Chains A and B, each alone.
Chain A
Amino acid sequence: MSSQKYIIGTFNDEEPLLEAVKEVRAAGTPIHECYTPFPVHGLDEALGYRRSRLPRAAFMFGVLGFSLALFMQAWMLGYDWPMNIGGKPALAWPDFVPVTFELTVLITALGMVGTYLVASGFLPGNEAKMPDIRCTSHVFCIAIPSNTADYDKIHALLMRHGADEVEEREIEL
Chain B
Amino acid sequence: MYESPIRRPLITGKTSYAQITDDIATAVEAKPTKWWYIGFIVSLAGLGLWLLTVTYLLVTGVGVWGLNKTVDWGWDITNFVWWVGIGHAGTLISAILLLFRQKWRTAVNRSAEAMTIFAVICAGTYPLLHAGRPWVIYWVFPLPNTYGSLWANFNSPLLWDVFAISTYFTVSLVFWYVGLIPDLATIRDRAEGVRKKIYGLLAFGWNGSAKAWQRFESVSLILAGLATPLVLSVHTIVSMDFATSVIPGWHTTIFPPYFVAGAVFSGFAMVLTLLIIMRKVMRLEAYITLNHIDVMNKIILVTGSIVGSAYITEFFIAWYSAVPFERYAFVNRAFGPYWWAYWAMMTCNVITPQLFWSQKLRRNITAVFIISIFVNIGMWFERFVIIVTSLHRDYLPSSWAMYSPTWVEIGMFVGSLGLFFTLFFLFAKFLPVIAIAEVKSIVKTSAEEHIKKTAEKEGIDIKEVNPQIA
Contact = CB atoms under 8 A, between A and B. Distances in A.
Indicate whether A and B are direct neighbours in the complex (CB within 8 Å): yes
Contact of B210 (A40, A72, A95): A40
Given A47-B210, A136-B189, A106 B171 contact: yes
Of B142, B185, B217, chain A has the most CB atoms within 10 Å of the CB of: B185
Contacts of A44: 210-211, 213-214
Given A113-B223, A127-B205, A128-B206, A120 B186 contact: no
Interface of A: 12, 14, 33-41, 43-44, 47, 49, 51-52, 54-55, 58, 72-73, 76-77, 80-81, 83, 85-86, 88, 92, 95-96, 98-99, 101-103, 105-106, 108-110, 112-113, 116-117, 119-130, 133-138
B160 A39 contact: no
Nearest to B168: A102
B155 A88 contact: yes
Contacts, number: 198
A132 to B, nearest CB: 9
A81 B149 contact: yes
Interface stretch (B268-276, B352-360, B411-419, B435-443): B435-443
8 contacts: A37-B437, A38-B182, A44-B210, A109-B174, A122-B205, A123-B205, A128-B205, A138-B16
Interface stretch (B195-203, B295-303, B333-341, B369-377): B195-203
B206 A38 contact: no
Interface of B: 1, 16-18, 20-21, 142, 149-157, 159-160, 163-164, 166-167, 170-171, 174-175, 178, 181-182, 185-186, 188-190, 200-219, 222-223, 226-227, 229-230, 233, 236-237, 240, 436-438, 440-441, 444
B232 to A, nearest CB: 10
A36 B154 contact: no
B159 A99 contact: yes
A81 B152 CA distance: 10
Contact of A35 (B186, B209, B227, B236): B209
Contact of A116 (B152, B215, B438, B444): B215
Contacts of B209: 33-35, 130
Given A98-B164, A137-B17, A81 B150 contact: yes
B164 A95 contact: no
A112 B207 contact: no
B226 A109 contact: yes
